[in-house]
Chains A and B, each alone.
Chain A
Amino acid sequence: MTSELTANTKNEPEVLQKRKRRGKKKIRPLSLILRLLVWLSAGITFAVLIFLVAYILVRGVPYLTPSLFEWTYNSENVSMLPSIINTLIMTVLALAVSIPFGIFTAIFLVEYAKKGNKFVTVVRLTSETLSGIPSIVYGLFGMLFFVTYLDWGYSLLAGAATLAIMVLPLIMRTTEEALLAVPDSFREASFGLGAGKLRTVFKIVLPSAIPGILSGVILAIGRIVGETAALIYTAGTMATLPENVFSSTRTLSVHMYMLSGEGLNINESYATAVVLLVVVLLINWLSGVAAKRLTSSGLREQQ
Chain B
Amino acid sequence: MKNVKEVVMKYVFMVAAAASILAVFLICVFLFANGVPAMREVGFFKFLFGTTWAPNNVPASYSIFPMIVGSIYVTAGAIIVGVPIGILTAVFMARFCPKGIYKFLKPAVDLLAGIPSIIYGFFGMVVIVPLVRTIFERFDTDGMSMLTASILLGIMILPTIIGVSESAIRAVPNSYYEGALALGATHERAVFFTVLPAAKSGILAGVVLGIGRAIGETMAVIMVAGNQARMPVSILKGVRTMTANIVIEMGYATGLHREVLIATGVVLFVFILIINLSFSVLKRRMKA
Contacts and interface: CB of A to CB of B under 8 A. Distances in A.
B177 interface: yes
Interface stretch (A76-84, A183-191, A273-281): A273-281
B112 A48 contact: yes
B148 to A, nearest CB: 15
B36 interface: no
Given A9-B99, A45-B108, A123-B17, A31 B247 contact: no
A270 B120 CA distance: 12
Interface in B202-243: 209, 212, 215-219, 223, 243
Contact of A112 (B10, B30, B110): B10
B158 interface: yes
B102 A9 contact: yes
A280 B223 contact: no
Contacts of B105: 42, 45-46
B285 interface: no
A112 B17 CA distance: 11
B280 interface: yes
Interface string A20-49: 000000001011101101111110111011
A53 B212 CA distance: 25
A298 interface: no
Nearest to B29: A145
Contacts of B192: 34
B115 A52 contact: yes
Interface in B119-148: 119-123, 125-127
Given A133-B272, A281-B114, A45 B34 contact: no
A115 interface: no
Contact of B96 (A35, A56, A119, A141): A35
Contacts of A141: 26-27, 30-31
The bracket for how many chain B residues form the interface is 35 or more
A136 B247 contact: yes
B62 interface: no
A229 interface: yes
Given A126-B23, A144-B31, A15 B181 contact: yes
Contacts of A37: 88
B288 interface: no
B116 A280 contact: yes
B11 to A, nearest CB: 10
B80 interface: no
Nearest to B115: A280
B209 to A, nearest CB: 8
B123 A222 contact: no
B60 interface: no
A109, A112, A141: most-surrounded residue (chain B CB, <10 A): A141
Contact of A104 (B17, B85, B280): B17
A269 B191 CA distance: 45
Contacts of A112: 10, 13-14
Contact of B216 (A104, A122, A134): A134
Nearest to B21: A126
A38 B118 contact: no
Nearest to B120: A52
Given A42-B89, A112-B10, A140 B246 contact: yes
A149 B116 contact: no
A290 B138 CA distance: 52
Interface in B75-128: 84-86, 88-89, 91-93, 95-99, 101-102, 104-105, 107-112, 114-123, 125-127
Contact of A226 (B110, B116, B262): B116
Interface string B134-168: 00000000000000000000010010001000000
Contact of A38 (B2, B89, B122, B272): B89
Nearest to A219: B114
B216 to A, nearest CB: 3
Given A104-B17, A132-B275, A196 B99 contact: no
Contacts of A35: 96, 188
A283 interface: yes
B19 interface: yes
A135 B85 contact: no
Nearest 6 CB-CB pairings of A with B: A134-B216, A226-B116, A104-B16, A41-B88, A108-B13, A31-B188
29 contacts: A5-B178, A9-B96, A9-B97, A9-B102, A32-B188, A38-B92, A41-B88, A42-B93, A46-B104, A105-B13, A107-B13, A108-B16, A112-B10, A128-B280, A132-B276, A133-B272, A134-B216, A136-B216, A137-B216, A140-B31, A143-B250, A145-B30, A197-B6, A198-B5, A228-B219, A256-B122, A270-B126, A273-B122, A284-B114
Given A101-B16, A135-B216, A227-B116, 9 more contacts: A9-B95, A9-B98, A12-B187, A46-B108, A104-B13, A112-B13, A132-B212, A132-B272, A144-B34
